[in-house]
Structure 1
Amino acid sequence: MIKRTFGMAALVLACAGAMTALPTGNAQAAEASVKCDLAFNLSGWSLIYKHAEGNGTITCDNGQRSNVKIVVVGGGLTAGKYHIDHGKGEISNVHSIDDVYGSYAQAGAEAGVVKSSTAQVLTKGTTSLALAGTGEGVNLGVSVGKFTISKR
C-alpha cells in the first residue's frame, strides 16, 4: 500500500512538473519570432584568400533598427573582384536585434563575369540569414569563411 501511494504521488508530481514546463517552452519559442531584414552593399576580392567589406541597415518587425558593418573573410579556390549593390538579407529565429550581431558560417560557389549574383543561407547557432544580391565583377571559385555583422 505504501509503495502504491508513493508511486501515485510520484506520477502526480511528474505530471504537474510537465504541465508547468509546457507553457514556458511555448513562451520561449514565441519570443524567437522576431524577423529582421538586412539591406546591404558589399565589395571584395579573392585570390585563394577571400575578403569583402560593406555596410547596411537592419530593420526588425518589432521596430528595432541599426546601421551595421559587414566583413567577409575566408579561403578556398577562388579568384576575382566584385561588388554587390542593393543586396537583401532575411534574418530569422531571433529574440531581438542583438541576436543578429556576430559571425555566420559561410560556404559557397561563385561564378560570374561582368554581372554577378549571389544567393546563400548562412547560420549562427539557431539564427539563419538568407542573402540575395546582384552586382558586377569577375569571380570564380569555391570558398568557406565567415560573414560578420557588427554595429557601425
Structure 2
Amino acid sequence: MKRLLLASLWLACVVAMPAAHAADELDCKLHFELSSWSLIYKHVSGKGTVTCNNGQSMKVKLDANGGGLSVGSSRIDDGTGEFTSLHSISEIPGTYADVNANTAIKAGNAQVLTKGVVSLAIAGVGHGFEMGVTLGELTITQDN
C-alpha cells in the first residue's frame, strides 16, 4: 500500500510539473509588415506589434541583412508570428538566426527563427518575387 501511495504521489508530481512550467511561459504573437530586396546581398526591413496573453504589448522594428545567391524584391503586408519559450516580453528584442530559401513568385512565406531557446515562427503572404538562398540574421528592436 505504501508503494502504491508513493507511486501515485510521484505520478502526480510528474503530471503537474509540465503544467506548472507551461504556466510560466508567456504566449506572445507578432503582427508585422516588411519589405525586402536582394541582389546577392539581401536587406529586409519592417515594423510590427507584439501582443502577449498577459496584456503587455511592444512596438518593434524588424531588420535583416544577409548574403547568398538571391535576386528579387517582395513585401509582406499582414504577417504573423508566434514566439515560444518566452518568460518575459523583454526577451523578444535581439538577433535571431535566419536561413531562407525562396523560389519564383512569392505566394507565401513561412520560417522559423531562433535566438537561444526562444524561437519565432513567422508566416505571411508576400507580393513580388525572390529567387535563391540567403543566410543572415533578423534583428528585432523595440520601436518607441
Normalising by structure 1, what TM-score?
0.78
Question: Does 2:119 correspond to 1:118?
Answer: no
Amino acid at match of 1:148: T
Question: Partner of 1:40 in structure 2?
Answer: 32
Equivalent positions of 1:2-151 (< 5 A) are 29-30=21-22, 32-113=24-105, 115-151=106-142
Kindly tell me the number of residue pairs found equivalent between the two proteins: 127
The more displaced of 31-40 and 52-61 is 31-40
Higher share of residues assigned strand: 1
Structure (1 or 2) with the larger CA radius of gyration? 1
Deviations 1:87-107 (A, max 9, x none): 000011111110011010000
Q: Distance in 1 between matches of 2:45 and 2:33?
A: 8
What's the Cα RMSD here? Answer: 1.9
Change (3 A) 1:110 1:33: same
* Aligned twin of 1:13: none
**Secondary structure at the counterpart of residue 98 of structure 1:** helix
> Percent same amino acid at aligned positions?
48
Aligned partner of residue 95 in structure 1, secondary structure: coil
The TM-score normalised by the length of structure 2 is 0.82
Moved over 3 A (4+): 28-32
